[in-house]
Structure formats: C-alpha cells, structure tokens
Structure 1
Amino acid sequence: MSVGVRGRRWAVRGLALLFGCLLALAFPAVDAWWLGWVGLVPLVLLFGRAGSYGEAAWRSSLAALGFFLTLFQWLLPHVGILALVVGVVAGVLWVPFGLATHRLLREPSAARVALAVVVLPSVWVSVEALRSWEGLGGAWGLLGLTQWQVRPVLAVAALGGVWLLSFVLVAVNVGLAAVFLPGAGRAARLIGGGLVVVLAAFAFGYGLLRPEPVVTGNVRVVGVQPGVVYGGDARFAAHLELTRRAAGLGQNVVVWGESSVPFDPARRPDVAARLAQAAATVGSDVLVNVDARATDGRIMKTTQQYGPGGLAGMYEKRRLVPFGEYVPLRLLLGKVLQGTEIAKEDRAPGRDPAILRVGGVRIGPLISYESIFPDMRRELVRLHADITVVQSSLTSFDGTWAQPQQASAEAVRAVESGRSAVLVVLNGTSAAFDAQGRRLAWMPPDSHGIFVVDVPLYQEITPYVRWGDWVPVTASAITAIAIALLLAHTARARPGEGAATVRPRRRGS
C-alpha cells in the first residue's frame, strides 16, 4: 500500500473519530438535540462505503471512541488506568453497527435500504441494551435521551421507553444517509427519503395525538440542595438549617440528597432525635439519605423517612456503582487500581424495592445511580407508586456534563413511567418533571438552598410500563434473524462467490 493511500485511509478514519465526537454534543450540557436526528448520517455513509469489513470496523471503532470519550470526559480523571479499558470497550461497542452498515449499504439497492432501516436500528438498540447492564456502567448516553426537551417526540418514550426513541432516531439517520449514498439508485433514494417522512410523522404525530394523562391530585415537595459541604457534621447541620426554611410552606415532604447523613441514626440516637424534631418543626416528613456503617457492620446507602415520631420507612440501595461503590474482583483489581478513586470498601446492596407513604401519597424512592435504569422506575409504578423521588450527589463531578445529563434523563423516565419524577441532589442539578416531560423545577449546581415544587399525580399505566422492554427484545430478535440469514446465505454460496462477498473492495478505501 502506498504512503498516499495509507494517508487517505487514516484521514477518513480521523473523520469518523471527529463525527463520533460531534454526535456527543447532542447530549447535555451542549444540548444540540437535532444532532440526534442527523448526526449519524455521515457515519453511516463512512461505514457503508468503507471498502472492506476490516475498514468498516476501524471506522466504527474510532467513531465510538470519539463519541464515548467526549460524552464521558468527566469520568476519565477519576478512573486512572481504567481509562485504557474504557477506551478499548468503547471502541468495540459500535463495531457490530459498522459491520452491519457495510454489509447492507455497500451496494444500496431499494431492498437493501428498506432492510437497513429496520436492521441497523435493531443492531444499535441491541448494543445499547447490552451496554446498559449495571455491571458495565448503566444506561448512560443512550441516543434517545437527547430528545428530553423535544415535545411531542418525547411522548414516544411512553410507548416503548427510551429504546423506541433510539430506534426511531437511528432509522431516520439511516434513511437520510440512503438519500446521499453514492451508487444508490432513484428507487433506493426514494425508499430512504420516504421512510424518513413516515418515521418523523409517527414520532411527532404520536405525541400530538396522544391525550394528556388525567391529573388526579398533587403533592408539594421541598428539595434541599446545600452544595458542597465538607465534614459530616457540617453537612448534616447545613441540611437541618435549610430544612427549617420549609416551615409554613405547606409541603407534604422535604427531601435531602444522597449521603446527606454520613452516620447511621440507629447508632446515633441524637441524630435520630434531631431528624424527628426537624419533621415536627416543618410539619411534614423528611426523606434523608444515610451513607454509613449499619449496626450489622455493613456500609449501606439508605433512604430513611422521618416523621415527628421518628423513623417511618426505609429503602436500601440495590444497584451499586461499579468501582465507585464496589470493586468487581477486588482481590485482583484492588491492587492494580491503587491510587485511583475506586471504593476503598464495598458497600452492601439492598434486596427489595420499597414504597414510602406520605399521607395518602405513595413515593417510589431510588438512589443516584439507580435513576438511569428504566426498569427500576417501571417496577415502582407496578407497585403503585404515585411519584418517584431520586436522591443523588455528584460532588465528584462538580461542574461537569454529568450533572445535566443525570437531571435531563429524569424527563424521559417520567414519560416512560407515566409518573412525575423528582430528583434532589446534594450538589449537582436538582430537577422535577411531570408525566408529559414538562419541567417543573430546575436547580443548577451554582444554586444552593431549597426549592418548592407542586408535583401532579397520575394513575395512567403507559404502554411501556404494561409491556416492558418489548423494543430491545424485538430488536435483539431482528438482529439474531439477520445474523442467521447472513450465515445461511454464506453457507449456500459457492466458494468463489463467498470469497467475492468478503474480498476487500478498493472503492472508498
């Protein structure tokens, strides 16, 4: 291979890396949401015209590397040597999509374009669902989350969750790319453009025609956000002082953020007494978050509900942050990761969900990392939660994209679940959304104090709550069928044809 050809090849790979970085700007804090609709188009073109499967793999891996390192740049300073692992894993994630794109669109006939608009989004959603496993870091950076402010498109989440939003966005990108693909005939371009119109009409039409859910009541919530306060006693005192401001506001509940109480009230009677006194003073229950060693010796994070009579309810965090709250294979990895900000001691996970009752309102509590998992919100609604409340703290990522990313995702969670969502953060971005995804409250990291929000209550059961993760299941089935058909076609092909099918192509290299 000549130096000139090699240089052009790496220049194109560099473009793939750049376009991957640009797609990450669709998420908060930049919030260029429209990139969710068009940001994949240049990548689909690059993958489809790669010239060989190997080149498609190179381009897709570099695009993924650019996307994930840009989107999660706030995480890298905290993981040390794990950054290399993150980079390798990130680079692999888009390779299946890149290979599938090259297979279907290297010779873009009308039939192949129509098939690509179904198969490629299925591959994408299947990979998103796989990487959303809690042990891999959870459901951050899903493409559908970019539409958190775009009503009525956001309403699609009530039908199929964030997964259906991602599917629609990828399908539109593929259809648009087909319009511009070199070598595509008129029929292929018409199919691609026509499907774009149909999908966009579905996304906007569903939201416009979907009736608003009926409001059955409301609950007044006071959130407490003191900002960064160093020292456990000082942090506890700051929360108590801000809570006193809620007296006379007519709230139903006061909510503190994650790790707001760094000692176990069960071992500190004085702390339990002060929490009960605070509830009596403000005239409502107080939800605090305890991050401390319990009486059985385990360190746990718990939501604890205090009324004037003392402890009234509790929830134990079930899904823990890998490396942040526990270390997988600690005996092996603990020594390798010395000097990083990994958890020094594993926290213990809880087992069961909980519903906390505040008067006649049923609150479904979650803690920080758990907020990004759609299934946990759906589970709480099935347990008859009237609203969901998340307690969080992003002190380690102060001033980074992590804070608006977490807060904005609450809009999607609210629409998925059909329940208003409230996020209260110790230091970060607190927010509240109704079941339509309308913003009720937004308190950025540089704002400290309390916020008051009247949260509407709903009883509607959304299709997503009723049917569950039918989109990733269907997408995985389509992906499996496509792989099976490809293998069957390869097995039937004559040896010469099979070789021709996979031989690297010069065009576009």
Structure 2
Amino acid sequence: MDSSPALRTRWLASPWGRGAAAALAGAVPALTFPAPSWWWLAYVALVPWLLLVRSAPTFGRAALDGWLGGAGFMLAVHHWLLPNLHVFILVLALLLGALWAPWGLLVRALLGGAPRAGRCAAALVLVPSGWLMVELVRSWEYLGGPWGLLGASQWQVPAALRLASIGGVWLVSLLIVAVNTAVAELVAASAARPPAVAGLLVCALATTAVWFWAPVPRPAGTVRIAVVQPGLTGTPTQRLARSEELTRSIAGRGVRLVVWGESSLYQDPTDRPALAARLAALSRRTGTDLLVNADAPRIGGPGIYKSAELIGPDGLTGERYDKMRLVPFGEYIPLRSVLGWATKVGRAATTDRIRGSHQVVMPVASAGGLRIGPLVCFETAFPDMSRHLARDGAQVLVAQSSTSTFQGSWAPQQHASLGALRAAETWRPMVHATLTGVSAVYGPRGERIGERLGTNRSAAAVYDLPLAEGTSPYARFGDWAVHGAVGALALSGAYVGVRALSRRPARARR
C-alpha cells in the first residue's frame, strides 16, 4: 500500500512542514528569470503556491502561507545578495514577504473550499490584480525597487514584448498570474472548469490580437554606437587605461557615440581639468563623443554622486545626469542611525551617495544631435523612468551599469535582460553598457542586436542601432493596467461591502 499521500497530508498538517512548503512554492518562480531563464515555467510556477493557499484551514493560515511564500520568492530572486548582506537578507525577505499576506487572504476567499463558477470567474481577475498590487508596492525604491517583477521573466518572448509595448511589464505580469490562476482552478475545482477554460481562451485571444494588430514602431534609420567593457582590470587607474585602449581600437569605424559603464571613473572630470583634457583628446582621436560615468565626490558638493557625463573633442559638453534612484544598502543605508549596523555584517555602503534631482535628455553632437536618455544601473528596473525619457524626446536609452560585485551569480544576466523590456515598452532602442558584463543592446521592439559581452570578456563592441519613430501605447497611456487592477479590487470590495450591509437588516429582523 502506498502511504505517500498520507505522509504528504501529515506533513502539510504540521505548521513547520506547511511553512516550508509555502516558502519552497514561493521560490519556484525565480527559476523563470536568468540565469536559468525557464520563461515557459512562469505560466504554471504559481500553481503549487495557489493550491497550497486555497487549502489553508483558516484565513489566518492562508495569510501566513502567502507571507512565507512571498519571503521564499524574495529570497530566491535576490539570493545573489547573500554574500553582501549575509543574515540581513533573511530579515529583508521576511519584511517584504509580508506584502503577500493580503494576497493569501484573497486567494483563500476566492478559491478556498468548493468555489462556484462565479467566484472562480472573479478570481481570474482579482487574484492577478492582487498580485499586481504587491508588485507595485514593493517596486517603491525605498523597499528595494522592481527587481524580479514576474512579467520581466518574459524578456526574450516576442509576444510578451509586444504586450509590454501596450501595457508595460505590468500587463505581462497580469497575464501570467491569470494563466496560473486558471490552471490552479482546473486542477482543484470541477465547478471552475468552464470559467478557467474561458479565461485561458481570453488570454490566448488577447495575446494573438495584440501580436497581429497592435501598432509597431516606424523605422527611422540607424546610428553606430560602441560599448566599452574593460572587464576585471584591478585598480581604477588600470580600468581607465584599459577603457582608453579599447576606445582607441574603434577609431575609424564610423562610431557616433562610445558608452562606458557605471563607475568607469573614480574622479570627476568636472573637478579634474587634466582628466577632462585626457578624455577630450581621446574623443578627438576617435571622432566621437564619450559617455562616461563618475563615482566621485564633487568639490564643494555635499558628497559622492554617480554621474553620467558627456565628453566631446573640446572637453566637457555640460551634459550631465546624476543618478536619482539609489540601491538600498548598496549605495546608501536607509535610516543609517538605526540600520547602520548592516555595514558590520555585510558589504553595505559605508558612505551614502547623493541623489540627483531630475532626469536629463542629452544631445550628442558627434551623432548629429541624437538625443539620448541616460539611466544608471538600478534605474533600468523602473519602467516609469525610461517611459518619461521617451516622452521627453530621447531617441536612444543608454544604461551604464556595474555588477562586478556579483560576478558568477545570476545578477549580471538578469540585469541585462531588463533592457529588452524597457526598449519594447518605449519603442526606443536600449544600450546596456557595463564594466564587467553582461553588456547588451536591444532594438525598438526589444529584439537583441549583435553580440552580448559576457562576464568573461574585456572588449569593445560596435553596434548598428536601429532607431524608431512614434510613441508606444505604454509611453502614451502609462500604467493603465495598474489602474485597472486597482479599479477591479475597489469594485469587488464595494460589492462585498454592499452585500454585507444588505444582509445585516435581514439578520436583525430574524
């Protein structure tokens, strides 16, 4: 006699066993992101977690299953931070995982017990909407930002990128969770099969309609851009020398802009005339402007900035962008007076960086006035920043990044993949240049252009970047998918409230 079902039942009946199952189920979606990049798994990855939450004996247990699953998800998606934050990453995972507790309540309310067809149909809308609210809240930069949004796992799927051009990464997340909810209904409830099948058909038809009839960007020529990736070169002086050597190697190839990675300079050329003259001479030799990045204190300033600066043949052009959204603990410590102890248990920032005040669109003289929108590292995770640059007239999005601390982890590949989504959302090509890899370039539809420079490369790569005209629906209409999710949740809450009030007089009469 096979006793495995009985063993599973006893294991899930144990609070510790059920908690471990929830954390493991929550961690499964992390496999959809690079490096594994099992994008296809995203459409069923939430099913074990959904089934576990719906089977919770009480609403309190459902909230706990949601919390522990969220903690497992956050820990799995950010596991590469463990060498930096040590035990503090567990604290962060538990704090952020609590955002999924209300989602657990929602799943239990809609799918728990033996739900009828109406409740199952509502779940196909409300469960994805609840998930999106969690993604929205945790995307706040002070809570860690939008790293690991479920929709971002589809960065290499053309149909998903087309959806992103309509409603951003948020719309892709909604679709993925809706499919997972429908599959969970098919597995768990016989009454749910008609609405679940209908929901799957709606998702398939909507994706097909977008693929065939959604607008696409209009081609507008090309521009030749080079990315310089010096690799693990040792000291800042050695890095600068290697970057100059690689930049000189592309002279005479018709390049209109050379992009260096984040923190390519540890002195600010604004305050170092000799360094500015050295870079200007390099610009004259190659016949192109240089977009460099300084991680340095500013003379007379309040502290250290991370700044994208444009250098031309005559020196500094005056075009400068200071990074606005900083990495919590990596570039500053929130509430340092309270949480400053994090520097003693991991490699947290010993000195806080200073935030910039506004985004900038830079004209590049050597590229005929081409307008570029710079982003620095972590900022490529924020859909609103690239959308605002596109609306402000940027023709190319340029990201300068450095993930050298996380070489050998999933972080470099996952970070580079975000460029595909930002390009597809805005219809603007994206250049993702790093110090040590992965560097990559994407066209206006999110398609990859040319070779990716991996973490084992020290090289300069030249790309013929396709430009595009037009405004994507997402750039034009913004986060309408998020607003729709909020509206759906608000309407359902109002409906439940009205029903509760209408029943109260009836109970009072009895």
Q: TM-score, normalised by structure 1?
A: 0.92
Q: 1:53 to 1:496 in 2, by over 3 A?
A: farther
1:352 and 2:361 matched: no
Distance 2:497 2:426 in 1: 39
Distance 2:231 2:423 in 1: 25
Q: Distance in 2 between matches of 1:245 and 1:204?
A: 46
CA deviation map 1:168-206 (0-9, x unaligned)? 111111112111214x32xx3111111111112212331
Question: CA-to-partner distance for each residue in 1:5-43, whole Å, 9 max, x for gaps?
Answer: 764323444333322222210111101111111111222
Conserved in 1, the CA contact under 8 Å of 2:236 and 2:266? Answer: yes
Residue 469 of structure 1 is matched in structure 2 by: 479
User: Which residue of structure 2 aligns with residue 503 of structure 1?
Assistant: none
Over the matched positions of the two proteins, sequence identity in percent amounts to 42
Q: Distance in 1 between the 2:23 and 2:506 partners?
A: 35
Q: How does 1:222-371 map to 2 (within 5 A)?
A: 222-297=226-301, 298-312=303-317, 313-335=319-341, 337-358=343-364, 359-371=368-380
Please point out which of 211, 216, 220 is paired with 1:216: 220
The counterpart of 2:120, out of the listed 105, 109, 113, is 113
Q: For residue 412 of structure 2, what is the aligned residue in structure 1?
A: 403
Which of 168, 178, 188 is the matching residue for 1:181? 188
Does 80-89 or 369-378 show the bigger shift? 80-89
Residues 152, 208 of structure 1: 8 Å contact kept: no
1:145-164 paired onto structure 2 within 5 Å: 145-164=152-171
Residue 144 (structure 1) aligned with residue 151 (structure 2): yes
Change (3 A) 1:8 1:380: closer
Question: Among 126, 129, 148, which residue is 1:122 paired with?
Answer: 129
Q: Which amino acid aligns with 2:384?
A: D
1:57 maps to which of 52, 63, 71: 63
* Residue identity opposite 2:137 in structure 1: L
* Alpha carbons of structure 1 residues 463 and 497: separation in structure 2 relative to 1, 3 Å: farther
1:506 alignment counterpart: none
Which deviates the most, 117-126 or 324-333?
324-333
Q: Cα distance, 1:392 vs. partner?
A: 0.4
Q: Which residue of 2 aligns with 1:504?
A: none
Are 1:321 and 1:369, in contact at CA under 8 Å, matched by a contact in 2? Answer: yes
CA gap of 1:19–1:331, structure 2 versus 1, over 3 A, is: closer
Q: Secondary structure at the match of 1:389?
A: strand
Q: Structure 1: which amino acid aligns with 2:386?
A: R
Judge conservation of contact 1:41–1:177 (CA < 8 Å) in 2: yes
* Structure 1 gap ranges (5+): 499-509
For 1:502, the equivalent position in structure 2 comes to none
In the alignment, does 2:391 pair up with 1:378?
no
Cα distance in 2 between the residues matched to 1:174 and 1:278: 56
Q: 1:453-492, aligned counterparts within 5 Å?
A: 453-490=463-500, 492=502
The number of equivalent residue pairs is 493
In structure 2, what is the Cα distance between the partners aligned to 1:191 and 1:453? Answer: 48
Counterpart-to-counterpart distance in 2, 1:335 and 1:9 = 39
| Structure-1 residue corresponding to 2:12 | 8
8 Å contact 2:22–2:66 — kept in the other structure?
Answer: yes
Contact 1:153 1:204 in 2 (8 A): no
CA 1:195/1:497 → structure 2, altered by over 3 Å: closer, same or farther?
farther
How much is the aligned-residue C-alpha RMSD, in angstroms?
2.1
Which range is displaced more, 284-293 or 231-240? 231-240
SS of the residue corresponding to residue 269 of structure 2 reads coil
Aligned to 2:3: none
Residue 176 of structure 2 corresponds to residue 172 of structure 1: no
SS in 2 for 1:152: helix
SS in 1 for 2:80: coil
Task: Please tell me whether residue 428 in structure 1 is matched to residue 437 in structure 2.
Answer: yes
Partners in 2 of 1:5 and 1:363 — Cα distance? Answer: 58
The answer (yes or no) to whether the contact 2:70–2:99 under 8 Å persists in 1 is yes
Deviation at 1:207, TM superposition (A): 1.8
Give the 3-state SS of the residue equivalent to 2:265 in structure 1: coil
C-alpha distance in 2 between matches for 1:9 and 1:382? 53
Q: Which residue of 2 aligns with 1:391?
A: 400
Letter in 2 for 1:276: A
1:378 deviates by: 0.8
Matches for 1:12-31 after TM superposition, within 5 Å: 12-31=18-37
1:97 aligns with 103
Q: Distance in 1 between matches of 2:43 and 2:118?
A: 23
Secondary structure in 1 matching 2:225: strand
Partner of 1:304: helix, strand, or coil? strand
| Alpha-carbon spacing, 1:45–1:235, altered in 2? closer, same or farther (3 Å) | same
Corresponding residue SS for 1:34: helix
| 8 Å contact from structure 2 (residues 360, 374) kept in 1 | yes
Q: Secondary structure at the match of 1:58?
A: helix
SS in 2 for 1:98: helix
Q: Who is 2:457 aligned against?
A: 447
Could you tell me whether the CA contact under 8 Å between 1:158 and 1:464 is conserved in 2?
A: yes
The 1:302/1:8 distance shift into structure 2, 3 A limit, reads closer
Please list, as runs of the form range in 1=range in 2, the aligned pairs for 1:32-51 lying within 5 A after superposition.
32-51=38-57
What is the deviation of 1:249?
1.2
Offset, 1:399: 1.4
Between stretches 9-18 and 488-497, larger displacement belongs to: 488-497
Q: Output the CA distance in 1 between the equivalents of 2:233 and 2:267.
A: 15
List alignment gaps of at least 5 residues for structure 2: 1-6
Which residue, 193, 197, 201 being the options, matches 2:197?
Answer: 193
Partner of 1:74: helix, strand, or coil?
helix
**1:436 corresponds to which letter in structure 2?**
R
CA distance in 2, matches of 1:91, 1:327: 20
Task: Tell me if the contact between 2:83 and 2:346 (Cα under 8 Å) persists in the aligned partners.
Answer: no
CA contact (8 A) 2:386 2:397 kept: yes
Residues 85 and 345 of structure 2 are in contact (CA less than 8 Å); yes or no, is this contact kept in structure 1?
no
* 2:171 partner amino acid: L
Distance 1:146 1:4 in 2: 31
- Determine helix, strand or coil for the equivalent of 1:440: coil
Which one is further off, 225-234 or 153-162?
225-234
Does the CA contact (< 8 Å) of 1:154 and 1:207 recur in 2? Answer: no
Letter paired with 1:326 = Y
Amino acid at match of 2:410: W
Q: Cα distance 1:450–1:479, how it changes in 2: closer, same or farther (>3 A)?
A: same
| Residue 339 of structure 1: how far off its partner (Å) | 4.4
Aligned AA (1:371)? T
Cα distance in 2, alignment partners of residues 380 and 353 from structure 1: 7
